Structure 1
Amino acid sequence: MMPLDTSRAPRVAVAGLSARLLAQSAARAGLSVVALDIFGDRDTREHAGLWFDIGKPDGNGLSIDRARLYDALEHAARLPRMLGLIVTSGLEPLANELSRAPGVPRFIGNGAQALAVRDPRRFFALLDEAGIPHPDVRFAPPAAPEGPDGPDGPDEPEGWLVKRPDGCGGTHVEWAGDVDRIVPRAYFQRLAPGRPMSALFVAAHREAVVIGFAEQLTVAAGRLPFVHAGSLGPALLPADTAARVIAAIEAIVWKTDLTGLNSIDFLLDGEDFSVLEINARPSSTMALYETVWPDAWPRGLIGAHLEACLHGELPPVAHGCAAMTPPPPLFAGQRVVFAPEGFTVSRDFSDACFDDPACHDVPLPGARIEAGMPVCTMTFTAPAFAALRDAMEREHARLLQRIDTLSRS
Structure 2
Amino acid sequence: MLAQAAKNAGLKPLVIDLFADLDTQGCAEDFRQVKSLAEQDLAPAVDCFIERYAVTHAIYGSGFECYPESLYYLNNRLTILGNHPDVFARQLDKPAFFSTLDQLNIPYPELVFSMPEYADDWLLKPMQGQGGTGIKRYHADDETKEPVYWQKFQAGTPHSVLFLADGQQMQVIGFNRQWPVCLSETQEFVFSGVVNRCDLSDVHKAVITDWLEQMVPAFRLKGLNSLDFIHADDCGYVLEINPRPSASMQLYDQDLLSRHIQACLGRNSVAYCAAWRDYHSAYQVVYADHDLTIPDRFEWPDWCMDLPKPGNMCRAGQPLCSIIAHQKNSRSVVEQLRTKQQLIISKLEGYDRHGIYSQR
Q: TM-score scaled to structure 1, two decimals? A: 0.81
Counterpart of 2:225 in structure 1 is 262
State the AA in 2 paired with 1:229: S
What CA distance in whole angstroms lies between the structure 2 residues aligned with 1:158 and 1:282? Answer: 35
- 8 Å contact 2:50–2:56 — kept in the other structure? no
What CA distance in whole angstroms lies between the structure 2 residues aligned with 1:80 and 1:342? Answer: 39
Residue 315 of structure 1 deviates from its aligned partner by 3.5
State the AA in 2 paired with 1:243: A
Counterpart of 1:317 in structure 2 is 272
Q: 1:372 aligns with which of 292, 310, 317?
A: 317
Counterpart of 1:104 in structure 2 is 77
3-state SS in 1 of match to 2:229: strand
Over residues 152-183 of structure 1, what are the superposed CA-to-partner deviations in whole Å (9 max), with x where a residue is unaligned?
A: xxxx1131112122111111312221762234
3-state SS in 1 of match to 2:182: strand
Counterpart of 2:293 in structure 1 is 344
Question: Is 1:177 the counterpart of 2:113 in the alignment?
Answer: no
- Cα–Cα, structure 1 residues 95 and 230, in superposed 2: closer, same or farther, change >3 Å? same
- 8 Å contact 1:360–1:378 — kept in the other structure? yes
What CA distance in whole angstroms lies between the structure 2 residues aligned with 1:194 and 1:371? Answer: 28
- 8 Å contact 1:203–1:259 — kept in the other structure? yes
Counterpart of 1:82 in structure 2 is 55
Over residues 66-91 of structure 1, what are the superposed CA-to-partner deviations in whole Å (9 max), with x where a residue is unaligned?
A: 42212111222234352411111111
What CA distance in whole angstroms lies between the structure 2 residues aligned with 1:247 and 1:332? Answer: 26
Counterpart of 1:245 in structure 2 is 208
Counterpart of 2:281 in structure 1 is 332
Residue 101 of structure 1 deviates from its aligned partner by 4.9
Question: Is 1:389 the counterpart of 2:324 in the alignment?
Answer: no
Question: Is 1:189 the counterpart of 2:151 in the alignment?
Answer: yes
3-state SS in 1 of match to 2:80: coil
- 8 Å contact 1:139–1:187 — kept in the other structure? yes
- Cα–Cα, structure 1 residues 178 and 285, in superposed 2: closer, same or farther, change >3 Å? farther
- 8 Å contact 1:205–1:312 — kept in the other structure? no
Residue 270 of structure 1 deviates from its aligned partner by 4.3
3-state SS in 2 of match to 1:336: strand
- 8 Å contact 2:94–2:127 — kept in the other structure? yes
Q: Percent of aligned positions with the same letter in both sequences?
A: 28
Q: Which runs of 5+ in 1 are unaligned?
A: 1-20, 57-63, 144-155, 321-326
Residue 199 of structure 1 deviates from its aligned partner by 0.7
- 8 Å contact 1:74–1:103 — kept in the other structure? no
3-state SS in 2 of match to 1:121: helix
What CA distance in whole angstroms lies between the structure 2 residues aligned with 1:41 and 1:49? Answer: 14
- 8 Å contact 1:162–1:186 — kept in the other structure? yes
What CA distance in whole angstroms lies between the structure 2 residues aligned with 1:400 and 1:93? Answer: 30
Q: TM-score scaled to structure 2, two decimals? A: 0.92
What CA distance in whole angstroms lies between the structure 2 residues aligned with 1:90 and 1:125? Answer: 25
Residue 316 of structure 1 deviates from its aligned partner by 3.1
Alignment coverage as a number of residue pairs: 352
Question: Is 1:273 the counterpart of 2:222 in the alignment?
Answer: no
Q: 1:401 aligns with which of 318, 321, 346?
A: 346
- Cα–Cα, structure 1 residues 215 and 178, in superposed 2: closer, same or farther, change >3 Å? farther
State the AA in 2 paired with 1:118: L
Counterpart of 1:26 in structure 2 is 6
- Cα–Cα, structure 1 residues 408 and 121, in superposed 2: closer, same or farther, change >3 Å? closer
3-state SS in 2 of match to 1:362: coil
- Cα–Cα, structure 1 residues 337 and 93, in superposed 2: closer, same or farther, change >3 Å? closer
Residue 408 of structure 1 deviates from its aligned partner by 4.9
- 8 Å contact 2:74–2:80 — kept in the other structure? no
Q: How does 1:33-182 map to 2 (within 5 A)?
A: 33-55=13-35, 64-80=37-53, 82-95=55-68, 97-99=70-72, 101=74, 104-110=77-83, 111-143=85-117, 156-177=118-139, 180-182=142-144
Residue 127 of structure 1 deviates from its aligned partner by 0.7
- 8 Å contact 1:336–1:374 — kept in the other structure? yes
3-state SS in 2 of match to 1:35: strand
What CA distance in whole angstroms lies between the structure 2 residues aligned with 1:172 and 1:104? Answer: 31
Residue 394 of structure 1 deviates from its aligned partner by 0.9
State the AA in 2 paired with 1:234: R
Residue 35 of structure 1 deviates from its aligned partner by 1.0
3-state SS in 2 of match to 1:40: coil
3-state SS in 2 of match to 1:82: coil
